[in-house]
A and B are shown apart, each in its own frame.
Chain A
Amino acid sequence: MSELPGELLYTEEHEWLRQEEDGSVTIGITDHAQAALGDLVYVELPEVGAELDAGDEMAVVESVKAASDVYAPVGGTVLEVNSDLADDPEKINSDPYGDGWIVRMQPNDLDESNTMDPDAYQELLDSLED
């Protein structure tokens, strides 16, 4: 059973999004996603200042099994990227909701995001388990 913090929003593509007090959002991939990918060996990050639309490819995470795109759950501007991941991509495996965050963004309009609440995401995960 994968861990699912209640204060986050989730996407169908297994990203998570946290609203920060300053209005920015932090984005990463879920515990389920890191477990499915396996040990990560490489993370490709966007440029700070990049403008993204919701659904754009934002980053690439690569494990020994597969490379997978990470999509922007919401449109906006990249404020900060987790450059620690360049040397330590395994932080996403060990702490997907903490040290393994990927991008911090200034969202254009959070109401336009492709996200769901934890209960809905749990339902999605359950449907994948059958």
Chain B
Amino acid sequence: MPHLLDVDHVVRKFGGLTAVNDVSLHLDKHELVALIGPNGAGKTTLFNLLTGMVQVTSGKINLQVDDKNYDLTHKSAVQIADLGLSRTFQNIRLFKDLTVMDNVLTAMTNEYKENFLTTVFRLPSFYKTEKEMRAAAQKLLAIFDLTENEQTLAKNLPYGTQRRLEVVRALATHPQILFLDEPAAGMNPEETADLTNLIKYIQKEFQITVLLIEHDMSLVMNLAERIYVLDQGEILATGSPEEIKANPKVIEAYLGEGDD
């Protein structure tokens, strides 16, 4: 049985440095998987490989949707986004000078077709499409409690809210797989708890697969059905949260002993 996403012996070298070394992993439909590991382990590079921002040196990436196979190996970021893989960024990359609403609408660019003439001469179909887009965006913003901030510029939002908006924007592309790069970074425990519930909710509600990078172990152990541990570019271990917690190799490389 093929997986939704199959990453097969992927290698990425930057000059003499091997950032990702022979990594194989897979994601199934509606799974919530976490990717953990110490700083510099290659987690973000792996995300960049999966979303086409960086090309693999060798190996294969394969997507299987509705019995159709897509080879993602040498596809561009735009093509991969169109196939339903969406992401957030570790160092928040919102469109800072656009409003919250426009940030979300931007993610719907490819979904709604607007013809040049109907747009520039404001024919009725322009207003119809625009209305549909706005309604869809408002629905998403309401779920994430951002309705009040609709007209706020993204750069003026508090940090935690910016992270939330990035998730909304990623969801607006209607992804099959959502990659979250440290969604809880810089959040206080209360915000983290809210975020945990929210991720659980969107995974169920939107029926999507989520792969997340996170350092906050309470969040990871709470959410993830499966965990991959990456260390020095290689997969060190994989398994359920309980198995990972008990794995001596993981404890040594990342989690640390309880008493030090």
A and B held together in a complex: no
- Residues of B bordering A, CB below 8 Å: none
